Amino acid sequence: MHILETDALTRCFGKLKAVDAFTVSVEAGEVFGLLGPNGAGKTTVIKMLTTLLPPTSGTAGVGGFDVVRHARDVRRIIGYVPQMLSADGTLSGYENLLVFAKLYDLPRAERESRVRGALALMGLADAADRLVRTYSGGMIRRLEIAQSMLHEPKVLFLDEPTIGLDPLARQAVWERIEELRAGFGTTILLTTHYMEEADGLCNRVAIMHLGKVRAIGTPAELKASVGGDGTTLEDVFVHYVGAMLESGGTYRETSRTRRTARRLG
Amino acid sequence: MRPQELVARLGGWADPVLLRLPGKFAAAVAQFAYKTAVITEVEARKLRHDPTELITRALQPALWLLVFGQVFTRLRAIPTGDLRYIDFMAPGILAQSVLFIAIFYGISIIWERDLGIVHKFLASPTPRAALVLGKALSASVRGLSQAVIIYVLAFFLGVKVCWNPLALAGVFSTVILGAALFSTLSLIIACLVKTRERFMGIGQVMTMPLFFASNAIYPIAMMPKWLQVISRINPLTYEVDALRAMMLAGGTSSFGLWLDLGVLLAAAAVLVAVAARLYPNVVR
């Protein structure tokens, strides 16, 4: 059985089809990448899969639960790190996690040790009791990933997990994602527009453009489909999406992305 | 025969639904209360890290009582019967300062939406109504700090305060209820308008009629007929009426304390239900 399955998932905003008949199946334990330029519909797909946005048509199931009819069950088994900064700067790292440990009904007796454990796993043990305001961008992202893993979700959604991070911080986040997959067998769906990130982390990727999936497969398959030796995922991307034209991203999205990048950077 | 034995005798058919239902219901209520408390705890922790907001908030009610209150007490321009004006207005200013805190509370949702915090809470298995009520009650925590400040001011200004513990408990409960009510109203507005600029505009526009079309600083009897009608549907009027009855020594309620509290409770419940439905819209 596929742990994540969508069938012609579609979302319209007014006349605009933000996501058009998105159909994929993801195996348990897979790291699946959604690639695409700004405005391709990646975040909209994630919002539908995390039950934040009802689809206009089509269906999606996570862990065997329908995202519309069994939203509560879906929420119990997923973890989610939004693209924007989602840790609360006015609380300590420990408190940020404690709140979610309570909301996900972690047993009282295990709560403290699991929160401390998650912080240690993400290399934040020393900073646990500092206000998140004082963290660096990379630390905040790692904190957010720690929080999303607390309840050991079956599927983890990471929306642009490394946006605005410097190369070192990005490397650290990649290593943690790799560890989660290896250690817990977590299925991970991530969006990115960094090609080397997708190439290094993902078992399979889907390239989206203007709401539609243009290509889907393993990085190697996609490279082979486009050209011979020496083809990079970058070349594949350009082949399917065309040269990076200004294709989306409203003023508000741009200002949000920039602000997130600045706060994280 | 003990109930357990009865169940055993009746066998499988009676047991499942009927007898477990109250237990299940109680568990669901307990779960809901717990999740609500967690959301309130978040805000309480923030206040503990940075309590400056509570102190700066004390300024406005102090100015109202010291300047406006002193002048109008001396003028005797407002007929308040046997009550001195400063006694009459002290509960009104308490209600007002709680209203001012609560009515702009919704903007925090817009901030948190812009950051991505709301997304995370909505993707968790927390009931929407618990998210809303938890937020509303954290406005109540701020409201309580106002109540403490106003009691201190009232003491120094010689307001005839009723210090009966039961009356104090009543005042504090009314403050909690009033803050929850108006902060939920504020959340609803935030969910509808979605941007800070529009929210601030509407917040300003709402505050004036809520405050002035109420019995907070003058009796309803002074108002023209049409304004009296508006005052009677304004929940703030009932909050002030309840506060006046319980905060002052020998205070009385015009509408009856139970009616006051009933109106506040019913209005808060309806607003929480509406807000819980609208809340997910913030991230769409």
| Numbered residues of chain A with Cβ closer than 8 Å to any chain B Cβ | 47, 50-53, 72, 75-76, 78, 80-88, 90-92, 95, 99-100, 102-105, 131, 147, 256, 259-260
Among B35, B115, B121, B283, the residue to mutate for chain A (most A Cβ within 10 A): B115
Task: Identify residue B52 by its one-letter amino acid code.
Answer: T
Residues 6+ apart with CB under 8 A from A46: A34, A80, A157, A159, A189, A191
As a whole-number percent, the residues of chain A with pLDDT over 90 amount to 62
pLDDT digits (tens, 9 = 90+) for A141-168: 999 999 998 999 999 999 999 887 888 8
Range of the domain at B200: 52-283
Q: What is the pLDDT of residue B246?
A: 96
Cα distance from A73 to chain B (closest Cα, Å)? 8
B119 shares contact with chain A (CB less than 8 Å) = yes
Chain A residue with the nearest C-alpha to that of B50:
A90
Say which of A50, A51, A90 has its CB closest to residue B50.
Answer: A90
Residue B29 covered by a domain: no
With cut-offs at 50, 70 and 90, classify the pLDDT of residue A261. low
Could you tell me the end-to-end alpha-carbon distance of chain A, in angstroms, rounded to an integer?
A: 40
B117 shares contact with chain A (CB less than 8 Å) = yes
With cut-offs at 50, 70 and 90, classify the pLDDT of residue B92. very high
Q: How far is CA B202 from CA A125, A189, B100, B133, in A?
A: 44, 40, 13, 22
Q: Taking residues B113-132, what's their average pLDDT? A: 93
User: ipTM of the assembly?
Assistant: 0.89
pLDDT digits (tens, 9 = 90+) for B158-201: 999 999 999 999 999 999 999 999 999 999 999 999 899 999 99
Q: What total number of domains does chain B contain?
A: 1
Cβ atoms of B214 and B231 within 8 Å: the answer is yes
CATH (domain of A10): 3.40.50.300
Q: What total number of domains does chain A contain?
A: 1
Task: Identify residue A121 by its one-letter amino acid code.
Answer: L
pLDDT score of B8 more than 60: no
Q: What is the pLDDT of residue B7?
A: 44
pLDDT score of A27 more than 80: yes
Range of the domain at A166: 4-264
Residue B158 covered by a domain: yes
Residue B16 covered by a domain: no
* Cα B37 from Cα A228, distance rounded (Å): 60
Question: Do the Cβ atoms of B120 and A86 come within 8 Å?
Answer: yes
Residue B12 covered by a domain: no
Half-sphere exposure (Cβ direction) of B224: Cα atoms closer than 13 Å:
2
Q: What is the pLDDT of residue B14?
A: 42
Chain B residue with the nearest C-alpha to that of A96:
B42
* Cα A96 from Cα A104, distance rounded (Å): 13
Half-sphere exposure (Cβ direction) of A200: Cα atoms closer than 13 Å:
13
pLDDT digits (tens, 9 = 90+) for B140-157: 999 999 999 999 999 999
3-state helix, strand, coil in chain A (%, to 5): 40, 25, 35
Query: Residue A24: phi, psi to the nearest 5?
Result: -145, 160
* Cα A231 from Cα B1, distance rounded (Å): 82
User: If we measure between CA atoms, which residue out of B71, B100, B109, B117 comes closest to residue B178?
Assistant: B100
Q: What is the pLDDT of residue A243?
A: 58
Task: Note the pTM of the prediction, 2 decimals.
Answer: 0.87
Residue B41 covered by a domain: no
pLDDT digits (tens, 9 = 90+) for A223-254: 888 877 778 888 888 888 875 555 555 666 66
For residue A10, give both structure tokens: 């579609």
Question: Do the Cβ atoms of A52 and B122 come within 8 Å?
Answer: yes
pLDDT score of B6 more than 70: no
